[in-house]
Structure 1
Amino acid sequence: MDVAKRLYQRFSSLVHELAKFGSIGAIAFVIDTGLLNFCNVVLDLGPMTSKVAATTVSTTFAYLGNRFWTFRDREQSGLGREYFLFFLLNGIALLFGVLTIGFATYTLGLDDPLSLNIANIVGVGFGTLFRYWSYKKWVFLEATEPIPVELPETGGVRPDR
């Protein structure tokens, strides 16, 4: 039991970060899959256009969730820089989804909604691994100074007086 406790203490921040990243990712996945199916089946935009549209919306949600919740304790190197890199890296990750959907649809001839969703899940899985690694490496950088958890002590004097 002591070993498990030490392992948890050692990796607790990583476990919490992965849980938050996974939560945001799960919601973004629901948004992505819902819009993919809506655009493809209801709007008849085709699988590739539908995937790009769905990913654009879900990526915006994911950026906001990851910036202001998952990686909020990391250095903020500028909203513009982060947003640009986030979307650039998501564009690369989108290739995983587009390639798997394109392969299933145009190479294997599987153009039914179930095959589209299975291909989407495979592409999202590969893209998620790439995104987590790349966000930590290039977008949400480690803080160079510790970010305070609480407001500094004021010695009983309220700062607004």
Structure 2
Amino acid sequence: MPPTSPRPTGLHARLRALAREASKFGTVGTIAFGVDLLLYNLLWSLGSETLTAKAVSTIVATSLAFFGNRFWTWRDGAHTNMARQYTIFFVLNAVGLGIALTCLAISHYGLGQFWPVLQSQAADNIAAQFVGTAIGTVFRFWSYRKFVFRADLARTTGVTTSSPTPQ
């Protein structure tokens, strides 16, 4: 029988678990991003105002991301009450939406007053979909892990912490 490598412990195990989480989060986020991008551009081309189109596309993509993250990325997390998790998820996503809308508003309405090219569909996509989403993604990953899908570290990494036993 070939020798087995020891199970990673401590920092190494935590980094591997974090990398798995980030990979799954990235996959779910990429799919949600695609839905957001397609829906935003569809609504924009149909005549929706740019901020309204972004808000609607983000709400749809957020719902998709919630279910992907809850049932795949952090399926081993603490799932106490779906309605509560969904609400917190949406509130945190509203902050992410605010980040994207701020980037879009600065570009389209602020800088676009001086450089009209920044009021084009391409510029709006860069500001909202790429810059805003990139900044918002960092916030979302941190906040989902911290407040929505708190992982059971012992279950996801095999790392246990010693705690006093009840008397």
TM score, norm. by length of structure 2: 0.79
Give the SS at the match of 1:72: coil
* Cross-structure match for 2:85: 82
Structure 1 residue corresponding to 2:123, chosen from 115, 125, 132:
115
Which amino acid in structure 2 is aligned with residue 117 of structure 1? N
Determine which of 5, 14, 21 is the counterpart of 1:17. 21
After TM superposition, list the pairs within 5 Å mapping 1:4-153 onto structure 2: 9=13, 11-41=15-45, 43-109=46-112, 110-120=118-128, 121-143=130-152, 146=155
Cα 1:130–1:10 shift into 2, 3 Å: closer
Going from structure 1 to structure 2, the CA distance change for 1:146 and 1:54 (only over 3 Å counts) comes to same
Cα distance in 2 for partners of 1:144, 1:31 equals 31
Gaps of 5+ in 1: 148-161
| Structure 1 CA distance for aligned equivalents of residues 14 and 80 of structure 2 | 27
| Inter-partner Cα distance in structure 1 for 2:125 and 2:153 | 41
Counterpart in the other structure of 1:154: none
| Aligned twin of 1:159 | none
How far the C-alpha of 1:8 sits from its partner, in A, is 6.1
Identical amino acids, percent of aligned pairs: 39
Question: Matched residue pairs, number?
Answer: 142
Give the distance between the partners of 1:146 and 1:22, measured in 2 at CA. Answer: 21
Residues 60 and 32 of structure 1, relative CA distance in 2, 3 Å threshold? same
* Deviation of the 1:143 alpha carbon: 2.8
**Whole-Å separation in 2 of the counterparts to 1:48 and 1:114:** 15
Cα displacement (A) at 1:11: 2.0
Q: 2-side partners of 1:10 and 1:136: how far apart?
A: 13
- The residue type paired with residue 57 of structure 1 is V
Q: Is the 8 A contact 2:74 2:151 kept in 1?
A: no
Letter in 2 for 1:135: Y
Is residue 20–residue 70 contact of structure 1 (8 Å, CA) maintained in 2?
A: yes
Q: CA RMSD in A?
A: 2.0
- Measured in 1, the distance between the counterparts of 2:27 and 2:12 equals 20
Q: CA deviation at 1:145?
A: 7.5
> 1:10: Cα distance to partner?
5.2
For structure 2, the 5+ residue unaligned runs are 1-7, 113-117, 157-167
- SS in structure 1 of the partner of residue 99 of structure 2: helix
